[in-house]
Amino acid sequence: MNSVVRIPQGDDTVKVELTVKEIMALAGYKFHNNHLLEVSARKKLNHALEGQYQIEDKRTLN
């Protein structure tokens, strides 16, 4: 099933401050002693999206 997702203003830029470790965690590096790095980074990204745009539920984008 192919579906086209259209996101208004999808090419806008959003600024989010992440630490180098958070970026590495999102890029796939594993920090076995600190899983919270990826969680923290994802929360910052979600907060930035929700703060700038009215996104109800990310699962409805399909």
Query: What is the per-residue DSSP string for 4-55?
Result: ----TTTT--------HHHHHHHHT---TT-THHHHHHHHHHHHHHHHHS--
Instruction: Give per-residue burial for 43-54: e unless 16+ CB within 10 Å, then b.
Output: ebeeeeeeeeee
Predicted confidence at residue 28, as pLDDT, reads 92
The pTM for the full model equals: 0.67
Predicted confidence at residue 40, as pLDDT, reads 93
pLDDT in tens, the chain (62 residues): 566 766 777 788 888 999 999 999 999 999 888 889 999 999 999 998 887 776 665 555 54
Amino acid type, 48: A
What span, in angstroms and rounded, lies between the C-alpha atoms of 50 and 38? Answer: 18
Predicted confidence at residue 61, as pLDDT, reads 53
Predicted confidence at residue 37, as pLDDT, reads 92
Predicted confidence at residue 55, as pLDDT, reads 62
Hey, where are the domains in the chain?
20-53
